[in-house]
Structure 1
């Protein structure tokens, strides 16, 4: 990575904020934030390194791109690879395969409301262990099923570039139905060909380097690219809170939802199953959130005092007596 690609760091950073402050300042307005200090008590932060993981589960097969590899074999591969886009270990079943790993971290307090949990074992994939050498990562994408996410770095560091939902990153071409995304072959290619242009954009991307012990909140719908600056180990989870439930609802109801939904075998019936489970666990929640959203939208459309007394066509004040 060229030094100029790492200079910009314009994300908001917070330490020790309350859940209410997080909701009001970031989750509700759908803004990214980097959170410090909220994983200080994780056993994983002290224990998870290459030696520990190989001793614990080196012979366990984990998902690496389109295949599965023993963890110790993956580390051998990552030491030897010189590929521009190295394979990335990204396993959604790690806690089932190695229960100890699932017990050595906990969900930060800001993300503990997860309404997809009402589906139990039928919920879509939602948590992953992520391991990769420097240069590995994920090209631009939006997280699945209209969920929000958090990503916690345990070892190493990651460069993040995020664009809001209404700004498609340069060089990225989503299909009209959102089912496919065409983007440059490698992350480095994107930086070489497109990154410089974003410096003059009115809506510039949010950028940061997320280091060990830090957690980034990725709001739903945000495009993001991530590249490991060194060998890195991380945990990420996708979730649905009340602030995001209606977005997920609308996504699952799309006519082509069965082609867009990911992480579950039953794509066709996920909407009905989720709706029934929410109604059973939290009766009236959907109606209440819908009503609140409609009231908020109506208030946003309501003219201000000055709009109400100004004749916009004539450019002068108007009063009614």
Structure 2
């Protein structure tokens, strides 16, 4: 048995009006295949180029180890020079990923390689973020703290993407006071005996190739797996739906601080309790008693 996933619709290119009408307003994902071919980044951006322009920069690295109470919010697991990291990616599979790397701050000249597309949404100019990964490395299933509209531009190689909207929360074993599902769920090959409610979740899937753009609507859960070494850039626009916007404010001002306080207070017991509650709450909401 597999997850209930439909293919994300694909278009060659799109006008602002059609994007707003068919994807933004109904909050549906889409892959735009030929939208950035005029960008210098389309021909320049690959791992060798990143090594050439940013090789001496120290980059934060993350792997797929479970959350530990001692870890700060988004605290990296390791650091190395970009040149060493690119060599590692090309040499062998590695779990290490770069996550939320602000290219404007680190390598200002990279700004010249792309322009901010006009999708009819106001993009946050200070926050273009890069994400890198090696073959078979993956992110946990999560959604972003600000529930933003995300435009995800992929470079070099292939990347598998699975998305769920917020209506699927009751089936995903969401961790309370958090933005992730249970970290021991393998969304690439889920165990439905262990996680039976996943059978009810309805989502989307695609594989991104070099130069393609994925639109992820507000608050969409996303799981990314690198089929080959590669990297992506995300541009984001603030959540427009009032409910999502208020959730974003709550997450940033209250939820994150509460979770950090409880980690300091209760340590690993807090993490263990949250993991247990993810199962209890999911099964309760679905009338399943195990």
Query: What's the TM-score, normalizing by structure 2?
Result: 0.72
Cα distance in 2, alignment partners of residues 151 and 14 from structure 1? 15
Once residues 29 and 245 of structure 1 are traced to their aligned partners in structure 2, the CA distance between those partners, rounded to angstroms, is 11
1:184 aligns with 2:183: yes
Report Cα offsets for 1:186-205 as digits up to 9, x if no partner: 746x524249979964x531
Q: Does the CA-based 8 Å contact 2:145-2:252 persist in structure 1? A: no
Matches within 5 A, 1:79-158: 79=90, 86-110=95-119, 113-114=122-123, 126-158=127-159
Aligned counterpart for 1:23 among listed residues 20, 24, 30: 20
Give the corresponding residue for 2:84: 73
Tell whether 2:21 aligns with 1:10: no
Structure 1 pair 104/70, CA: closer, same or farther in 2 (3 Å)? same
CA distance in 2, matches of 1:169, 1:15: 34
Q: Retained in 2: the 8 A contact 1:163–1:222?
A: yes
Cα deviation, residue 112, structure 1? 5.0
Gaps of 5+ in 2: 63-75, 258-290
1:240 aligns with one of 219, 238, 241:
238
> Matched residue of 2:146: which SS?
helix
**Post-superposition shift, 1:156?**
1.0
Please give the alpha-carbon distance, in whole angstroms, between the structure 1 residues aligned to 2:189 and 2:157. Answer: 21
Q: How far is the alpha carbon of 1:9 from its aligned partner?
A: 5.8
| Partner Cα distance (2:183, 2:219) in 1 | 20
Using CA pairs below 8 Å that are at least 6 residues apart, which structure has the higher relative contact order? 2
Contact 1:42-1:104 at 8 Å conserved across structures? yes
Label 1:180 to 1:31 Cα distance change in 2 as closer, same or farther (>3 A).
closer
- CA distance in 2 between counterparts of 1:161 and 1:249 reads 23
Q: Once the 2 structures are TM-superposed, how far is the Cα of residue 253 of structure 1 from its aligned partner?
A: 4.8
Task: Name the CA distance, whole Å, in 2 between partners of 1:154 and 1:146.
Answer: 24
Secondary structure at 2:60 match in 1? strand
Residue 216 of structure 2 is aligned to residue 218 of structure 1: yes
Contact 1:146 1:247 in 2 (8 A): no
Q: Is the 8 A contact 2:90 2:229 kept in 1?
A: no
Q: 2:50 aligns with which of 35, 50, 53?
A: 53
SS of aligned partner of 2:153: strand
How has the CA–CA distance of structure 1 residues 131 and 156 changed in structure 2, closer, same or farther, with 3 Å as cutoff?
same
Per-residue CA deviations over 1:87-137 (Å, capped at 9, x if unaligned) read 1012432222111212212223216523x56xxx7xxxx321121111112
**For this pair of structures, how many residues does the alignment match?**
242
Q: 1:199-210, aligned counterparts within 5 Å?
A: 201=200, 204-210=202-208
CA gap 1:194/1:41 in 2 versus in 1, 3 angstroms:
farther
Map 1:210-289 onto structure 2 (within 5 A): 210-240=208-238, 244=240, 246-254=242-250, 257-260=252-255
- Change beyond 3 A, Cα 1:173–1:139: same
Aligned Cα RMSD in Å? 3.2
Report the TM-score, using the length of structure 1 for normalisation.
Answer: 0.65
CA distance in 2, matches of 1:198, 1:211: 31
Q: Which position in structure 2 is the counterpart of 1:42?
A: 39
